[in-house]
C-alpha cells in the first residue's frame, strides 16, 4: 500500500486478513504510531483504508469538480496547515467529507455526510475535530448569507448541494449558528473547503496527514474532550 496513491487495491493480497496486515505494516513504516493506543491506531488504519478505497472517486459525486476526493481532502488540509491552524483543525479539514465515503444516495438527496462523519470522529478525536466537521455544511449556509463574495465563488456543485442542504440561512439562523462552540473553526474550514478544488495543486502526501492524526492520539498527549 502506498498512502500517497491509495486509489488502487491491486497491490494488496486478495484475502482481507492479509490485506489488513499489509496496510498495518505499511502504516507502521510511514507513520510513528508509538504511544498511540491500539484501538486508536486501528482508527488511523481505518481512515487510511477509506481513502484507499474511495479517494479516487470524483469529489461531489456525479456533479464533478476538477479534483477527486483524496485530492480535495489533501488540499483542504494543506490550506489549513498553511494558515497555521492547530493540528485538530488540520485533521478536521482532512476528514470533513469522509461521511460521503460509505454511502451513495445520488446527487439529488442531502446525504447528511457531516453528521455521520462527526459521529464517528467524536469518540476518536473529540470535539475539536468532530464539531467543525459536523458544522461545515451549515457553515456554507451561513457564509452564503453573510459574505456575498463567498456566495459568488461557490462552484456549481456547491450551489447544487446548498439547495439540498436548506439554502442560505436566515438572519436568526446566522445568529444562532455563530453562537455555537466551534462555529468559527467551521466557518474557516468551509472557506478552505471551497478553495480546495484546484486541479494539479501540490500537497504533502496522505501519510503526512495520517501522522498528524497519530500525533493527536498519543497516550501522553492531552486528550481532546467534548466541549
Q: Which residues lie near Fe ion (CB under 5 A)?
A: 97, 193
Helix axes 16-30, 38-54, angle to 10 degrees: 110
Q: Minimum distance between the CB of residue 157 and Fe ion, rounded to whole angstroms?
A: 10
Nearer to Fe ion, 76 or 214 (CB): 76
Nearer to Fe ion, 97 or 111 (CB): 97
Nearer to Fe ion, 71 or 97 (CB): 97
Angstrom distance (rounded) from CA 214 to CA 62: 33
Angstrom distance (rounded) from CA 210 to CA 4: 11
DSSP assigned state of 37 = -
Q: What angle is formed at CA 85 by the lines to CA 217 and CA 4, rounded to 5 degrees?
A: 65
Nearer to Fe ion, 87 or 97 (CB): 97
Nearer to Fe ion, 26 or 188 (CB): 188
CA-nearest of 79, 111, 113, 109 to 94 is: 79
Q: Minimum distance between the CB of residue 23 and Fe ion, rounded to whole angstroms?
A: 25
Q: Minimum distance between the CB of residue 158 and Fe ion, rounded to whole angstroms?
A: 9
Q: Minimum distance between the CB of residue 13 and Fe ion, rounded to whole angstroms?
A: 32
Do residues 218 and 33 make contact, with C-beta atoms less than 8 angstroms apart?
Answer: no
Q: Minimum distance between the CB of residue 59 and Fe ion, rounded to whole angstroms?
A: 7
Q: Minimum distance between the CB of residue 76 and Fe ion, rounded to whole angstroms?
A: 6
Phi/psi of residue 36, each to 5°?
-95, 130
Phi/psi of residue 68, each to 5°?
-90, 180
Cα-to-chain-centroid distance, residue 89: 10
Angstrom distance (rounded) from CA 59 to CA 39: 29
Nearer to Fe ion, 96 or 208 (CB): 96
Do residues 109 and 65 make contact, with C-beta atoms less than 8 angstroms apart?
Answer: no
Nearer to Fe ion, 132 or 211 (CB): 132
Nearest to Fe ion by Cβ — which residue? 193
Q: What angle is formed at CA 96 by the lines to CA 24 and CA 99, rounded to 5 degrees?
A: 75
Amino acid at each position: 500500500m502506498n498512502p500517497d496513491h491509495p486509489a488502487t487495491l491491486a497491490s494488496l493480497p486478495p484475502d482481507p486478513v492479509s490485506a489488513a496486515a499489509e496496510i498495518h505494516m505499511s502504516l507502521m513504516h510511514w507513520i510513528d504510531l508509538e504511544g498511540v493506543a491500539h484501538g486508536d491506531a486501528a482508527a488511523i488504519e481505518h481512515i487510511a483504508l477509506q481513502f484507499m478505497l474511495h479517494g479516487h472517486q470524483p469529489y461531489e459525486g456525479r456533479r464533478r469538480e476538477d479534483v477527486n476526493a483524496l485530492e480535495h481532502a489533501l488540499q483542504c488540509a494543506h490550506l489549513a496547515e498553511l494558515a497555521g491552524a492547530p493540528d485538530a483543525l488540520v485533521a478536521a479539514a482532512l476528514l470533513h467529507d469522509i461521511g460521503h465515503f460509505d454511502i451513495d444516495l445520488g446527487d439529488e438527496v442531502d446525504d447528511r455526510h457531516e453528521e455521520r462523519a462527526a459521529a464517528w470522529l467524536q469518540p476518536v478525536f473529540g470535539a475539536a475535530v468532530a464539531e467543525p466537521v459536523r458544522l461545515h455544511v451549515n457553515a456554507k449556509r451561513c457564509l452564503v448569507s453573510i459574505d456575498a463574495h463567498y456566495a459568488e465563488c461557490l462552484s456549481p456543485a456547491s450551489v447544487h448541494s446548498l439547495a439540498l442542504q436548506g439554502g442560505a440561512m436566515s438572519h436568526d439562523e446566522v445568529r444562532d449558528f455563530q453562537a455555537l462552540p466551534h462555529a468559527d473553526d467551521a466557518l474557516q474550514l468551509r472557506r478552505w473547503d471551497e478553495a480546495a478544488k484546484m486541479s494539479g495543486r501540490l500537497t504533502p502526501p496522505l501519510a503526512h496527514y495520517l501522522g498528524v492524526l497519530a500525533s493527536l492520539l498519543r497516550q501522553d498527549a492531552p486528550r481532546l474532550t467534548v466541549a
